Amino acid sequence: METIYQPIFSTTPEASHNIKDVLKLEEFIDLLREEEDYWEGEQHNTKLIITRLRKIFYDQWGWNKELIRGAADIEGRYMVKVVDEKPEHGKPIARYKQNEYVPKHRTITYRPNDRIYGNTRVGQTPEIYKNDHQEVVLPSGYYCDVAHILATLDAYNYPQKVSPLPNFLSFLTFLVPHVDSNMDIVSWLGDIASSSGDFMFAYLRNGKNPLSIEEEQKYINSGASGSDMLGDIDPFVIAKGYDVGTNNGMRFTEIISDYYLNDSSKLSKRKNRIGIYCEFIGLKNWDGEKFSNESSWLKYYRKQLRNNLTFQVFSLTDEKIKSLWLPLVIWFNGYKNVVKVELLLKIYLKALKIELKKES
């Protein structure tokens, strides 16, 4: 391997996801439809149901306080906890202590007052959350994380800047690290920041020895996998093609069924997904080889990605003192040759251009 690359489309699931546990999209839609129907009378409140479904996979803590503040008070169906010990069904949450990966685990279980099951399933994990079901295989054969779609659409419906400041001090945002779009930070930018952060913690853990290309690619494949990135790209396309912010429209399951399962060449909104996405994130005037504003786009997102990484390192570091100084070092452009912000953006841009040429 001569250089690292950013996957966008993948025909294999994430390494941690056993292929025997992978659901087809149609099977996952059935589970989502059951969750929609739990909220009787709200199924066609598209904006609200997107939040309720998103909170199955991403809820509380930073999501309510920092990332999607506008939806913080909307109730989710399940009890959410973060635990130290690995449960039978739970999603790992990255944490580092003395630069070692020591994850916590997010669990969701039925509440004692569930509208359907009452108290008969207290402590049990719903089927939709078991075995990483959010990563599905599409009819095309590509893998996609549908929870990423929900998170990004929810951020689209509640746009905000992301900073450590409370809303009443938002006028001071320019003084602190901040990301201009929560839609970016909960999707592609946040996933690339995961790769960057993994580079840094591995570098510190390994006695400050440089990572090999193979090691860097391993962290990209886990932190910003192809299924994650497709789940980051498609919500931008969906937001452009469907009214996801209405309180009286299509069910979310109807939207993704139409988007992924409608193969009519005239109607398919997937046909030009990469071009639509690139325009959405500010890339302009594609001439078949390059965009006219690549230099300014890279300059802008260098700062955005570094700020994103600052937040991420703060949230992932368990030691109190280290959780303060390490993000500050990054914010002031420390570890530049380790976190490789510019390179990660360039390989992402390269991957987008390769896929865009296929659409032309």
| H/E stretch holding 101 | strand 100-101
pLDDT at 357: 96
**Looking at the domain assignment, is residue 2 inside a domain?**
no
Contact between 101 and 200 under an 8 Å Cβ cutoff? The reply is no
**Looking at the domain assignment, is residue 242 inside a domain?**
yes
**Looking at the domain assignment, is residue 1 inside a domain?**
no
Could you tell me whether strands 135-137 and 23-24 are parallel, antiparallel, or unpaired per DSSP bridges? Answer: parallel
> pLDDT tens for residues 160-179?
999 877 777 777 778 788 99
**Looking at the domain assignment, is residue 145 inside a domain?**
yes
| 151: nearest Cα among 249, 270, 71, 61 | 71
Q: What is the pTM of this model?
A: 0.95
Q: Within the chain, which residues score under 50 in pLDDT? A: none
Distance in angstroms (rounded) separating the CA atoms of residues 38 and 34: 6
pLDDT at 175: 78
Domain count, the chain: 1
Contact between 224 and 17 under an 8 Å Cβ cutoff? The reply is no
pLDDT at 11: 96
**In what order do the strands lie in the sheet containing 79-83?**
79-83, 104-109, 91-93
3-state SS class at 21: helix
Could you tell me whether strands 143-145 and 135-137 are parallel, antiparallel, or unpaired per DSSP bridges? Answer: antiparallel
**Looking at the domain assignment, is residue 13 inside a domain?**
no
> pLDDT tens for residues 251-285?
999 999 999 998 765 557 788 999 999 999 999 99
**Looking at the domain assignment, is residue 5 inside a domain?**
no
For the chain, the distance separating the N- and C-terminal CA atoms, rounded to the nearest angstrom, is 29
pLDDT at 271: 86
pLDDT at 322: 60
Angle at 244 between CA 82 and CA 297, to 5 degrees: 80
Which residues make Cβ contacts (< 8 Å) with residue 110, sequence separation at least 6? 78, 79, 117, 121, 122, 123, 124, 126
Q: Give the domain extent around 351.
A: 19-359
Distance in angstroms (rounded) separating the CA atoms of residues 26 and 33: 10
| H/E stretch holding 23 | strand 23-24
Distance in angstroms (rounded) separating the CA atoms of residues 87 and 176: 37
CB atoms within 10 A of CB 35: 19
- Name all contacts of 206-213 with Cβ < 8 Å and 24+ positions apart: 210/338, 213/1, 213/2, 213/3, 213/4
**Looking at the domain assignment, is residue 3 inside a domain?**
no
**Looking at the domain assignment, is residue 195 inside a domain?**
yes
Q: Name the DSSP class of 22.
A: P
3-state SS class at 114: strand
